[in-house]
A = this chain, B = another copy of it.
Amino acid sequence: MAEKTSTYYIGRLDGFQARERARRWGGSWGSRLKMSHFPVSAMSPIDQYLDSHAERFEDELCELLRIPSISAQPDRRDDLRRTAEWVADQFRRLRFDVEIIPTDGHPLVFAQSPTVPDAPTALVYGHYDVQPVEPLDQWISPPFEPTRRDGNLYARGATDDKGQMFTHIKSAEAWMTVEGRLPINLKYLIEGEEEVGSHGLEHYLAQHADRLACDCVVISDGSQFAPGIPAITYGLRGIACYELRVHGPNRDLHSGSFGGSVTNPAIALTKILAGLIDHKSRITIPGFYDDVVPLSDREREAMAAMPFDEKHYFEQIGVAEAMGEEGYTALERRWARPTFDISGLTSGYQGEGAKTVLPATASAKFSFRLVPNQDTAKITSGLKWRLAELCLPGVELELIDQHGSPGVLASLDSPAMAAAARAIEHAFGRPPVYTREGGSIPIVTAFSKQLKTDTLLIGWGQDDDNTHSPNEKISLADFHRGIRASARLWEELAK
C-alpha cells in the first residue's frame, strides 16, 4: 500500500509536444524595422531650434532622471518634492503660471501657458514619479546615473514617464523661444503618484474640473506599435472585477464520510464559472452584449492591416493554439471585444499531496474587460441574475463587487485626432497606426468622465523599453522625434 504517484501529460492533439516545441522556438517579438530619419529638407525654424538644442535637452533630461523620485518609498518624500520643484522650474523659465499643489501624498505641478485668445486648449498630463528599482544587481548601469548606450538613454524613468513627459515641455520651450508665443493654450498637470494609484490627482480632478477644462488631453506615457511604427491609441477597455465565494457546509468535511451527500462548494464554483462562458467563448450573462459598440468595417480593416504576427505573438507567450470569441481575430479580441477572465481560484487543501477534504468554501476572483458603452452596473445586475440561475442546491453565493470602470473610445474623426496624425507623420516620417488597448488606464477614464473630453494617447516608447524592470531606457531618436511631434501638434491643434 505504499503510495504510487504517476504523472501523465495529456494534450489536446499533440499539445505537450507543441508546448515543448514552443519552448524550443524561443524567438523574439516581431522583427525590428529600420528606423526612419528626419526629413532634413525645408526645416522650419522650430525644428531647427530643436535640432540645435538636442544635446542640451538630453542633458536636462539626465538631470531630471538623476533624482530618485520613487513614489512608493516613504523615505523618498524629499526627492519627490525636489522633482516637483525641478519640473515647476522648467515652466517658470517659460514664464508660465506655475503652482505646486500639495496633496495627501506627493504634490501636483500645474502650469498654464500665456493666454492665446480664441485658440483651443490642450491639457498635457504626465508624471514625475518612478517605479522602485529592485533587483538592483540586474542593472547594467545604475538606475539613477543616466547612461547613453547604443542610441538609448538608460535610467529609471527614462521612458516611464520623465522622458516622454519632458518632450511636451521642450516643445513648448521651442515655441516660446523661437516665436515668443504658443499657437494654442496649454495646461500641464504633472503628478507624483502615478505609480502608487494617483489618489491626489483623482481628488483634485473631482474638485477642480473647471480649472482643468480643455479641448483635448494629451498623454505620452506608452509605446508605439513597434519600432518605426508610431501609434495613436484611441480605445481602452473598461473592467468590472468581482470575487465570488461559495459557502457550503459549516466546516470542512471528510470526503469519505460525507462525499456524495453534500454539495461540494468547489464543484459548485467550477459549475458556475464554467457556465459564465459558452463553447464559443461568449459570455452568458443576459444582456451582456446589448450595449457593445461593434467594430466598424474601417476598424476591422485597419486592424487586419496591422503588422501583427499572430504566430510570433503566441510563440512569445508559449501558447500553442489560439482561442477566443468566435468570429474575431486575436487583435480584435484583445482590443475591442469584452472578455471574461478568472484571475484567482482558492479552495480547500493547497499543499503537497492529497487531503481527503470536502471544503466548506470555495472562491474565485474574476473580471470582465468591458468595451465602450457597456455599463458596469448593468453588468453586475445581469451577473447576479445569472449566478442565481447557475447556483446549485445546498450552497449559497456571496458576490463581492470589487471595482469597475467603463471603457473609453475616442472618435477617429475628430480634428484633434487628425492633428495628432499629421504631427506624428511630420516627426516620424510615416503616419501613425490607430490602436486600441486591452487594458484600462484609470486616469484616462477619469479625464473622460470629469472633463468630458477625448484623450490623445500618443506614446513615444517601445515595448522593449523595460518599463518597471531593470535597465529601463528610451531611444534617443524617439525622444527627439517626440519633441518634434509635440511641437508640431500645438500648431496642428490650432488649425
Contact = CB atoms under 8 A, between A and B. Distances in A.
A403 interface: yes
**Assembly of this chain: how many copies?**
2
A367 B442 CA distance: 43
A273 B269 CA distance: 10
Contacts of A16: 396
Interface string A344-360: 11111110011111110
A375 to B, nearest CB: 14
A178 interface: no
A256 interface: yes
Nearest to A330: B261
B10 A388 contact: yes
Contact of A334 (B1, B261, B353, B440): B261
Contacts of A445: 1
A16 B246 CA distance: 11
Interface string A248-275: 1111011111111111101101110111
Interface string A221-252: 00000000000000001010101000111110
Chain B CB count within 10 A is highest, among A319, A337, A384, for A319
Given A255-B369, A274-B275, A393-B322, A19 B261 contact: no
Contact of A250 (B317, B344, B362): B317
A269 to B, nearest CB: 7
Given A202-B1, A267-B341, A346-B346, A334 B394 contact: no
A271 B251 CA distance: 26
A34 interface: no
Interface string A294-330: 0000000000000000000110011111111100001
Contacts of A388: 10-12
Contact of A397 (B10, B271, B318, B437): B10
Contacts of A314: 262
A402 B5 CA distance: 5
Contact of A7 (B248, B263, B400): B400
Nearest to A381: B8
Contacts of A274: 267, 270-271, 273-275
Report the contact-size class of chain A (Cβ under 8 Å from the partner): 35 or more
A390 to B, nearest CB: 9
Contacts of A3: 402-403
A380 to B, nearest CB: 8
A434 B384 CA distance: 46
Nearest to A340: B267
A401 B8 contact: yes
Interface of A: 1-12, 15-16, 18-19, 22-23, 202, 237, 239, 241, 243, 247-251, 253-264, 266-267, 269-271, 273-275, 277, 281, 313-314, 317-325, 330-331, 333-334, 337-350, 353-359, 362, 364-365, 367, 369, 380, 384, 387-388, 391-403, 405, 437-440, 442, 445-446
A-B residue pairs, 10 tightest by C-beta:
A256-B439, A250-B318, A260-B339, A266-B342, A274-B274, A260-B333, A345-B347, A321-B393, A344-B348, A241-B354
Given A260-B325, A260-B341, A261-B334, 12 more contacts: A1-B405, A3-B402, A10-B396, A19-B396, A249-B318, A250-B317, A254-B438, A260-B338, A266-B344, A267-B277, A343-B354, A345-B348
17 contacts: A7-B399, A9-B396, A10-B384, A10-B387, A15-B397, A239-B356, A255-B341, A257-B437, A259-B369, A260-B341, A262-B319, A266-B345, A267-B273, A274-B275, A343-B356, A343-B358, A346-B346
